[in-house]
Amino acid sequence: MTEEVFKVLLVEDNPVDVLYFEKISREMSDVSLSLVKAGTLSKAIELAKSQELDLAVCDLGLPDSMGLYTVKQIMAVSPDLPIIVMTNINDEDLGFKAVKMGAQDYLPKGSYNPGLLARSIKYSVERKAYAARQLWSCRERFTALFNNISQGAAFFDKQLSMTHCNPLFSELLGLKGVLSGPDILDQVSPEFLQRVSAVLEGSESNMDMGALVLKKSAEFQPWIRCIPVKDRQGDVQGVLCLAIEKTPSRPLIDLGPEAD
């Protein structure tokens, strides 16, 4: 059987636990590790940013971080990095919460064996890779659907960055160059951004922006409607903007009672 080699970031400040991990990892039969060590969260973040890693194994009690905050911060700087959490023997609930947050697995400190560690490493790497493939497939389907909407459509995230924009939206607003990202802020009116911000802040749950003209032209006037996009908890995560063309020869499509 071919031995698999993984570059692993071990985030642990207790020398005894580090030695135990090194001992168990050397006894694995079909997995080999190249270890990079960090005793603090700040050092772990530095290494996660600067090195190509296959996996992170994290203790949840560090000098500069406690509990799930460690997982959250490492995921923020390296979202594609699989994470295994090390928990105390009597704290499996915390490990389960870490998995729900996005970690791939958890192991009880000081009581795992070579077979269990090897299995957790291989499964965690594959779980993360599978999730990435699924996400990419979903994004491709979403982009295809977005681009074929009969109205101009764009999505703004909570940072007011336009993450998606179909060709019709770009055409109606006269956008040039970059069709997504923060650069879009230089091409739209402050009034438009204020309306989008209002939806993000929850001051209006649904807003028709028929009175707001972004491209000044007597014959070519796009009208905009903003719709808040919420997660399962009901929190606004972004704004979907729909644009349609209003011309003297083509009446405005009815977007609702506020569009009159």
What is the spatial distance between Cα 110 and Cα 89, in angstroms, rounded to a whole number? Answer: 8
Query: 154 with 113, same domain?
Result: no
**Strand ranges (DSSP E) for the chain?**
4-11, 31-38, 55-59, 61-62, 65-66, 83-87, 105-108, 152-157, 162-165, 207-209, 221-230, 236-246
Query: 126 with 176, same domain?
Result: no
CATH of residue 217: 3.30.450.20
**What's the total number of domains in the chain?**
2
What is the spatial distance between Cα 214 and Cα 30, in angstroms, rounded to a whole number? Answer: 61
Say what the pLDDT of residue 219 is. Answer: 46
Last residue of a domain, one of 80, 105, 140: 140
Residue ranges in 187-252 assigned as alpha helix (H): 190-200
Say what the pLDDT of residue 19 is. Answer: 95
pLDDT, tens digit, 9 for 90 and up, residues 199-236:
888 655 444 444 444 444 434 456 778 888 888 878 88
Last residue of a domain, one of 121, 140, 159: 140
Q: 123 lies in which domain range?
A: 4-140
Question: Which amino acid is located at 75 in the chain?
Answer: M
Query: 15 with 124, same domain?
Result: yes
Q: Is the separation of the CB atoms in 156 and 241 below 8 Å?
A: yes
Q: What is the mean pLDDT of residues 235-241?
A: 86
Q: Is the separation of the CB atoms in 209 and 223 below 8 Å?
A: yes
Query: 165 with 72, same domain?
Result: no
Query: 11 with 125, same domain?
Result: yes
CATH of residue 50: 3.40.50.2300
Query: 131 with 191, same domain?
Result: no
Query: 157 with 242, same domain?
Result: yes
Q: Is the pLDDT of residue 18 over 90?
A: yes
Query: 135 with 230, same domain?
Result: no
Quote the tokens at residue 130: 């599978």
pLDDT, tens digit, 9 for 90 and up, residues 126-166:
888 777 777 677 777 777 878 787 888 888 888 888 888 88
What is the spatial distance between Cα 78 and Cα 226, in angstroms, rounded to a whole number? Answer: 32
Neighbours of 45 (CB within 10 A): 19
Q: What is the mean pLDDT of residues 16-28?
A: 94
Last residue of a domain, one of 140, 158, 189: 140
Quote the tokens at residue 157: 């995230």
Q: Is the pLDDT of residue 254 over 50?
A: no
